[in-house]
């Protein structure tokens, strides 16, 4: 009797907990809190304090439910939590997310399309206001897998940068950081020759590879077909291969900031990272702004530059009309010109609206140190990664291919050929 009831209880629990395998895609989710609008975010320290202040101001200015920020770990952790919460059918009102994450959430029917909010007569955005956003910042939030709906809204953005250590460059007799990839390779060779040091510390990262491919004149996906076997991708992987073969670069441990450490220690001249890391880099460099700079990613063709946009968007979840309304009002407030200006000045994130540039404080910030303005200038030609279902999974394939080339176990040619096949197969499976 005892045993049977125990097994019965467990079976029952398993069935209840056990994830009703086919959740109805209609029907709302429970909000995490009924008297607050919860926002899952990943900002910490000073940036988090500023976000909290902006939120407090917003809460004071409106009648509805107050917004509450909850810091929820890094993007991987937020992603896992949201997926688990979708299963539990209880969600925060909104969360920061990359496009690939939003695409997966949307598959479960949890995401609120924002088109209606944007076009609404009151509380929406006029065409002029929409045009004030940089196109690249906005366009990746329209998802072709979901009839081109606007499923997320830009939050804090940055672009891929070439960080250059001028102490090392000077030691190698180099005047200015490279503008083209050809110059980049040449400078790496000079640095190795003159100083005996490797020039570049590589952090394995799919988005960095994507940015390199863009800047070499390539695309990632065209009409549902990956471009990893095309010349630009071959060239990007080929450059990494050459850098490793000639001992001009080395790989750092995954998900660490060892490249910034090496950079600050004058062990390397270059790292390629997003502009969001500039605050940390400034700390590591001990505030000596003359000794380093942020530069546009080297290019293949300087007349048609391209780089990659980083940074999360806000996704609003189906948690009931009032929660959704406040969540949108908050999003709109956060991306308004005055708040955006304050945010950009304090955090080093990009102002994603053009009119922010008119603010005298912004001008003063840019004048203070030339590198401050470079990310903003790159915004005009920044592109984004695909927002297709399945991209999340393909990202790890790209990083595997990169690691194989860096370890010298595969040629760039072989790695890209295999990557093309695998990525295509994964995409096909994810799109079913």
Partner 1 sequence: MSLWVGFSDGLDRVLAWADGHLVGRSGRPEGGRRAALCLLAPALLLLGVFGVAPIVSTVLLSLFDLRYGNGAFAGLGNYQEALQSSAFWNSVRVTAWYLVGVVPTTIGLGFVVAWGLMHVTQGRTLFRTLYFLPYITSAYAAALVWRALLNPQGGLANGLLEWIGLPTQQWLLEPRGLLHVVTGGAVAADVGPSLALCCVMAFDIWHGLGFTVVILLAGLSAIPQELEDAARIDGAGVLQVIRHVTLPLLTPTLYFLLLIGTISGFQAFNSFYALTQSGGNTLGTTENLVIYLFANFYDNGRWGYGAAIATLLLVAIIALALVQARFARRWVHYS
Partner 2 sequence: MKRALAYMVLTLGALLVIYPFIWMVGTAFKTLPESMGGSLNPLPQAWQWGNLSATLQAAPFGRYFFNSMLVGITVGLCVVLTSLLAGYAFARFSFRGRGVLFGLVLATMMVPFEITFIPNFVVITRLGWYNSYAALIVPWCANAFGIFLVRQAFLSLPEAYYDAAVLDGCGPLRFLRHIGASMVKPTLVTVFLFAFLGSYNALLWPLVVTSDPSMGVVQVGLASFVLDSGVRLNLLMCASAFVIVPSILLFLVTQRYFATGALGSGLKE
Nearer to partner 1, 21 or 127 (CB): 21
- 8 sits near partner 2 (criterion: CB under 8 A): no
Select the span of 204-212, 259-267, 288-296, 387-395 touching partner 2 (CB under 8 A).
259-267
The least CB distance from residue 3 to partner 2, in Å, is: 3
Rounded Cα distance, 278 and 165, in Å:
13
Rounded Cα distance, 384 and 326, in Å:
28
Q: Annotate each residue in 4-23 with x if it binds partner 1 (CB under 8 A) or - if it does not, as one string.
A: --xx-xxxxxxxxxxx-xxx
Q: Which of 284, 346, 397, 414: binder of partner 2 (CB under 8 A)?
A: 284
- 258 sits near partner 1 (criterion: CB under 8 A): yes
- 286 sits near partner 2 (criterion: CB under 8 A): yes
Q: Which of 9, 11, 12, 18: binder of partner 2 (CB under 8 A)?
A: 18
Name which of residues 34 to 73 contact partner 2 (CB under 8 A).
38, 40, 42, 44-45, 70-73
Whether the Cβ atoms of residue 399 and residue 422 lie closer than 8 Å to each other? no
Cβ-based burial of 122 (10 A; exposed 0-12, middle 13-18, buried ≥19): exposed
Integer CA distances (angstroms), 374 to 217, 363, 384, in order: 20, 13, 18
Nearer to partner 1, 176 or 254 (CB): 254
Of 143, 67, 111, 129, the residue nearest 327 (C-alpha): 67
Q: To which H or E segment does residue 201 belong?
A: strand 200-202
Name which of residues 390 to 409 contact partner 1 (CB under 8 A).
392-393, 396, 399-400, 403-404, 407, 409
The least CB distance from residue 203 to partner 1, in Å, is: 10
Rounded Cα distance, 182 and 422, in Å:
30
Select the span of 239-247, 273-281, 380-388, 389-397 touching partner 1 (CB under 8 A).
389-397
Whether the Cβ atoms of residue 329 and residue 94 lie closer than 8 Å to each other? no
Whether the Cβ atoms of residue 351 and residue 340 lie closer than 8 Å to each other? yes
Whether the Cβ atoms of residue 309 and residue 137 lie closer than 8 Å to each other? yes
Q: Are strands 149-150 and 292-296 parallel, antiparallel or unpaired?
A: unpaired
Output the CA torsion sign for 181, 187, 193, 197: negative
74 binds, among partner 2, partner 1, none (CB under 5 to 8 A by kind): partner 2
- 104 sits near partner 1 (criterion: CB under 8 A): yes
150 binds, among partner 1, partner 2, none (CB under 5 to 8 A by kind): none
Interacting residues with partner 1 (CB under 8 A): 2, 6-7, 9-19, 21-23, 25, 76, 79-80, 83, 86-87, 104, 107-108, 201, 204, 250-256, 258, 262, 267, 392-393, 396, 399-400, 403-404, 407, 409, 430
């Amino acid at each position: 009797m005892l045993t049977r009831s125990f097994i019965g209880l467990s079976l029952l629990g398993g069935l209840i907990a056990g994830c009703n395998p086919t959740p109805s895609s209609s029907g709302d989710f429970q909000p995490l809190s009924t008297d607050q609008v919860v926002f899952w975010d990943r900002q910490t320290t000073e940036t988090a304090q500023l976000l909290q202040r902006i939120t407090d101001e917003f809460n004071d200015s409106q009648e509805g439910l107050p917004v509450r920020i909850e810091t929820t770990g890094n993007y991987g952790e937020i992603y896992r939590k949201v997926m688990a919460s979708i299963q539990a059918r209880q969600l925060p009102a909104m969360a920061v997310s990359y496009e690939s994450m939003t695409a997966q959430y949307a598959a479960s029917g949890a995401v609120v399309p924002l088109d209606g909010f944007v076009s609404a007569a009151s509380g929406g955005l006029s065409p002029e206001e929409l045009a004030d956003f940089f196109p690249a910042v906005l366009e990746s939030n329209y998802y072709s897998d979901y009839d081109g709906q606007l499923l997320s809204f830009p939050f804090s953005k940055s672009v891929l940068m070439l960080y250059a250590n001028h102490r090392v460059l000077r030691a190698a007799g180099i005047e200015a950081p490279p503008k083209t990839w050809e110059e980049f390779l040449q400078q790496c060779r000079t640095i190795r020759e003159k100083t005996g040091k490797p020039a570049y510390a590589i952090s394995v990262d799919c988005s960095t590879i994507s940015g390199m491919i863009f800047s070499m004149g390539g695309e990632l996906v065209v009409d549902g077909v990956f471009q990893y076997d095309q010349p630009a991708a071959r060239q990007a992987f080929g450059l990494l291969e050459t850098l490793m073969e000639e001992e001009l670069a080395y790989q750092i441990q995954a998900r660490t900031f060892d490249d910034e450490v090496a950079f600050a220690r004058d062990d390397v001249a270059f790292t390629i990272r997003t502009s969001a890391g500039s605050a940390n880099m400034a700390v590591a460099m001990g505030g000596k702004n003359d000794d380093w700079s942020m530069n546009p990613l080297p290019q293949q063709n300087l007349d048609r530059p391209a780089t990659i946009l980083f940074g999360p968007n806000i996704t609003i979840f189906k948690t009931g009309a009032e929660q959704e309304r406040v969540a949108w009002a908050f999003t709109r407030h956060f991306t308004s010109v005055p708040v955006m200006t304050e945010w950009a000045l304090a955090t080093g994130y990009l102002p994603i609206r053009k009119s922010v540039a008119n603010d005298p404080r912004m001008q003063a910030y840019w004048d203070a140190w030339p590198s401050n303005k470079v990310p903003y200038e790159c915004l005009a030609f920044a592109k984004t990664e695909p927002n297709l279902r399945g991209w999340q999974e393909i990202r790890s394939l790209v990083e595997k291919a990169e690691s194989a080339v860096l370890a010298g176990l595969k040629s760039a040619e072989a790695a890209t050929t295999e990557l093309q096949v695998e990525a295509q197969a994964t995409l096909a499976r994810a799109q079913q």
